[in-house]
Chain A
Amino acid sequence: EVQLVESGGGLVQPGGSLRLSCAASRFTFSSYWMSWVRQAPGKGLEWVANIKQDGSEKYYVDSVKGRFTISRDNAKNSLYLQMNSLRAEDTAVYYCARGGLTAASSGWFDYWGQGTLVTVSS
């Protein structure tokens, strides 16, 4: 069974930085688009960013552009989200999610991690 395990969440002050990681296993990580999706406490889901298999294409929701950076290391089967200039409204559980093999199939997410909580507060 596909496994995605996030880590790196925690409490950070406004304006601070945090790097999330997602360790992937039991599938060929380098073959898939990958995304980050977040969920504020008690709220709905928000797609945050995605990345192509070789890292050559990266896309972001407008609210995080210029502050967050998605990356991947296929040799380590890992996905990352570098979050800078954090704001209170970035407080959420962040999920790593697997997309598809092609751009056309990258938009739905068939496997999700358990999530890691990021809390931005002073």
Chain B
Amino acid sequence: EIVMTQSPATLSVSPGERATLSCRASQSVSSNLAWYQQKPGQAPRLLIYGASTRATGIPARFSGSGSGTEFTLTISSLQSEDFAVYYCQQYNNWPPNWTFGQGTKVEIK
């Protein structure tokens, strides 16, 4: 099983500041990585797939980068609605045994 490790567990950021979230895979997943945002009591929302492609309707302040085992989600200027938990997910293997990271909580500083 590919283990996805996210850091930090919690990130305290002031509105308007940049947030940088990391995700590491235990083995290469190429660019087969997605990022999701989840707010309390809500379903996850797809932000990024293919490591760097924004999903439909996602603001440009969200960007993804990386390949292989190291990935980054950057939120260029945090808005109030961006405070949430963010998950990375690899979908590299077939037959599928897709796995998520444990999440990074972005909270208001």
A residues with CB within 8 A of B = 37, 44-47, 50, 59, 61-62, 95, 103, 106-115
A50 to B45, CA, bound (A): 18
Instruction: Say whether B96 faces chain A, with CB atoms less than 8 Å apart.
Output: yes
Instruction: Say whether B89 faces chain A, with CB atoms less than 8 Å apart.
Output: yes
B residues with CB within 8 A of A = 1, 32, 34, 36, 42-46, 49-50, 55-56, 87, 89, 91-92, 94-103
Extra inter-chain contacts (4) besides given A44-B100, A108-B91, A111-B46, CB under 8 Å = A47-B96, A106-B96, A107-B92, A108-B46
Selected A-B contacts with CB under 8 Å, 7 pairs: A37-B44, A47-B96, A47-B98, A50-B96, A107-B91, A107-B98, A110-B49
> Nearest residue in A to B96 (C-beta to C-beta)?
A59
B100 and A46 form a contact (CB under 8 A) = yes
The 3 closest A-B pairs by CB, nearest first: A107-B91, A112-B43, A108-B49
> Nearest residue in A to B42 (C-beta to C-beta)?
A114
User: Which of A47, A62, A111 counts the most B-chain CB atoms under 10 A from its CB?
Assistant: A47
A44 and B102 form a contact (CB under 8 A) = yes
A59, A61, A106, A115: the one within 8 Å of B43 (CB) = A115
A95, A108, A112, A115: the one within 8 Å of B89 (CB) = A108
A86 to B50, CA, bound (A): 35
CB of B47, distance to nearest CB on chain A (Å): 10
